[in-house]
Amino acid sequence: MEIKSVGDLEIAVIPKRFDAYGAQDVEATFKDIIGKGARRVICDFSQTEYVASAGLRVLLGTAKNLQKQEGILVICSLRSYVKEVFDTAGFTQIFKIYASTEEAIESLQKK
Amino acid sequence: MTTTILESSLVLLQMVCVIIVIAYLVTRSRLFSEVLGGHPKAKTQAILAVIFGGVSIYGTISGVEVLGAIINVRDLGPMVAGLTCGPVVGLIAGLIGAIHRMSLGGFTAPSCSIATVLAGLLGGLIYLGGKRRFVGIKIAVLFAASMEVLHMLLALLIDRPFSAALEVASNALVPMVLANSAGMFIFAFVITNLEKERRTQQERDGLLREMERKDTELKIAAEIQRSFLPETIEQVPGFDIAAKSIMAKEVGGDFFDVVPFEVIPINKGSTGVVIADVSGKGVPAALFMALSRIVIRVNALWHEKPVDAIRDANNTITHDSQSGMFVTAFYGRIDWQTRTLTYVNAGHNPPLLLRARNREFSQLSPTGIAIGAMENSEYTASELSLESDDVIVLYTDGVTEAANQHDEMFSEERLRNVVKACANSSAQDLIERILEEVKSFCGDWPQSDDITLMVIKVCNADPETLELNVKAVIENLPHLMDNVQSFMRGRGFTDETVLDVQLAVDEAVTNIIRHGYRGKDGVIEVRCRVSAEDVVITIEDSAEPFDPLSMKEPELGDDVESRQIGGLGIFLMRKKMDQVTYEFKNGKNVLTLRKKTMRAR
């Protein structure tokens, strides 16, 4: 999974299909960067066509993990179909969602 | 010492030039534009009073001796101050000039000083009398002349000895009147010009504002028309249809475009396609296109036969059209079951039909005249049957008449060549190819007419089935999903439906891999079957009997800490599909997913 760093923010580009297959790489990469000290993560969903429950599971797990370590995980650039799945799964209430990467970066940098 | 007339005149000329410069600088300053605006601030008035007081002092200092009397324009400053800013400013300016004059002494000091103050005051009264607007060149100059006469009278009244005063006054009268009138003329001229400029600017600003308002109204109108004249088209099962319109740049018409094509879902089993072209350009033409599209659409939905639809549409449009506008249109009705196309071509460029069986072109020629030209026009319809891989290309003459700098036209021949070369591409790709070819043909030559294209590709008729057997490992998911995706696409489904099916299959298969086989070797059989009404996917596996539907729904809405995701996959599957059923049959778990496809009402 592609990761970009902006200051202390890590921007992860979530793959086209965030299903059980795609989630493997995502989970591994997250474990890796968090182990190396990353605490503030922005998940960029601009490439993602759909998210399956396996993806949601990894997202939630990572977010819980980060929260335990005083970190934060936010989401940005959801396509309308993916946003709908998030709504259905109740995830829009759990995560902070931004319209674009720029907005997410700007907002997190203020904190 | 008396100076010669020539020398005096030169000095006067110098003085006049200085006055011109002062007049220009003062009146073009920001302070003065406040004055012209009619409501100068107190601070501005004070500053201007001082400035004009200074001009008055300059008038005294620059005085020149002519015929034994000293000619000066001391009164000019206060006069202008009074005329443009009112009595208070005039008075103050006059006082400044007067005090300075008094300090110089001389037997004419009292009359001169009083005259200076009066000049400012009277100027201010004229200003008030003229309702606070500048009184114009004529009155100003008249006032200046009169003021100097008054000045001379004052000298006679006040200055002593009388004989000396009489001599000075009689010598000085004419030159003083002339000098001050000239000075006043200069000021008045500059001010009047300024006022004219301001007026013109205000007019222009008013016009610009109105233009902006009209622009906004047009934008709103454009949004409204877009909401009931969609630019996207619905897919038809068994056909791959794409369309695109590129408007020529038009002043004022940039956002009020009405795309001249439409796909009309008529009923279960038939779809109408329309392409049209309006004579004329700009907003009136766009409005006419909007009208025509709606009338044609309504008639297409109402009438069984295309001939009747176009005949009635023509009568309605002709009846309402008083501007002499008309629209060429092609209206075809596709019957999915019988795979026939029945069409009426009302004076439109004959669409191309490329037959798959012999790779030859034919034209769908006009069957009547353009719509809106004449009431009760007669139309006929033609019918033809379509076969798999046939391609129909509908276009407007913006395509074939696209010109390049050598005055050549793209022509139908080039269009045919592109279509033939890309006959196997998807409808969307074919359109892009044609547009690319037109663009590279025209080069830098500007587009003069709207370019519209619609491509209808006839797909395979039989409700095909996709069958896949995959090993139950996560690594096979992408391959499986790619297959499902490309099978679903180009079969008349909305993008959303395609994603829904992928998601549901993804969840189901993942479940089987993780919870069914649980890492053990196994095979999963996936079968997709598409029909006109729905898509049915069956997923079979030979793992332990397990009914995934027996899991309860997850709790939604808790915060990050306390969420559990049990059963989320099944939940999503059920949400996205219209029907999910399970049975254990012949030793296999059989999960059946069914989704009704978005079809015509």
pLDDT tens digit sequence for B258-304: 778 888 888 777 889 999 998 887 778 888 888 899 999 999 999 98
Instruction: Name, in order, each residue with C-beta under 8 angstroms of B422's C-beta and a sequence gap of 6 or more.
Output: B429, B430, B433
pLDDT-derived band at B561, boundaries 50, 70, 90: very low
Q: Do B506 and A50 touch (CB under 8 A)?
A: yes
pLDDT-derived band at B309, boundaries 50, 70, 90: very high
Q: How high is the pLDDT of residue B461?
A: 59
Express each pLDDT in B389-415 by its tens digit: 899 999 999 999 999 889 899 999 999
Three-class secondary structure of residue B381 per DSSP: coil
Q: Do B569 and A52 touch (CB under 8 A)?
A: yes
Name the residue among A19, A88, A93 with its Cβ closest to that of B506: A19
Q: How high is the pLDDT of residue B466?
A: 80
> Tokens for B273?
């396609």
Q: Do A17 and B559 touch (CB under 8 A)?
A: no
Amino acid, single-letter form, for residue B7: E
Name the residue among A19, A85, A90 with its Cβ closest to that of B510: A19
Three-class secondary structure of residue B369 per DSSP: coil
pLDDT > 50? residue B601: no
Q: How high is the pLDDT of residue B225?
A: 75
Q: Which domains does chain B have, with CATH numbers?
A: 5-201 (1.10.1760.20), 229-394+446-458 (3.60.40.10), 465-596 (3.30.565.10)
Residues of B in contact with A94 (CB under 8 A): 558-560, 563
Residues of A in contact with B558 (CB under 8 A): 94
Q: Do A94 and B569 touch (CB under 8 A)?
A: no
Q: Do A50 and B502 touch (CB under 8 A)?
A: yes
Query: ipTM of the assembly?
Result: 0.93
pLDDT > 80? residue B254: no
Name the residue among B474, B503, B565 with its Cβ closest to that of A21: B474
Q: Is A54 on the interface with B (CB under 8 A)?
A: yes
Q: Which domains does chain A have, with CATH numbers?
A: 2-110 (3.30.750.24)
Q: Is A93 on the interface with B (CB under 8 A)?
A: yes
Chain A residue nearest residue B497, CA to CA: A81
Q: Is B519 left (phi over 0), alpha (psi -120 to 50) or beta?
A: left
Contact (Cβ atoms closer than 8 angstroms) between residue B70 and residue B107:
no
Q: Is B339 left (phi over 0), alpha (psi -120 to 50) or beta?
A: left
Residues of B in contact with A60 (CB under 8 A): 560, 563, 565
Q: Do B503 and A56 touch (CB under 8 A)?
A: no
Q: Which helix (H) or strand (E) holds B145?
A: helix B137-158
Q: How high is the pLDDT of residue B553?
A: 60
pLDDT > 80? residue B575: yes
- Whole-angstrom CA distances from B200 to A6, B188, B197, B218, B268 are 54, 18, 5, 27, 64
Contact (Cβ atoms closer than 8 angstroms) between residue A33 and residue B549:
no
Q: What is the CA radius of gyration of chain B?
A: 45
- Whole-angstrom CA distances from B88 to B45, B78, B160 are 9, 10, 31
Residues of chain B whose beta carbon is less than 8 angstroms from a beta carbon of chain A are 474-475, 477-478, 481, 495-496, 499, 502-503, 506-507, 510, 513-514, 554, 556-561, 563, 565, 568-569, 571-572, 575
Q: Is A57 on the interface with B (CB under 8 A)?
A: yes
Q: How high is the pLDDT of residue B421?
A: 92
Residues of A in contact with B561 (CB under 8 A): 64, 67
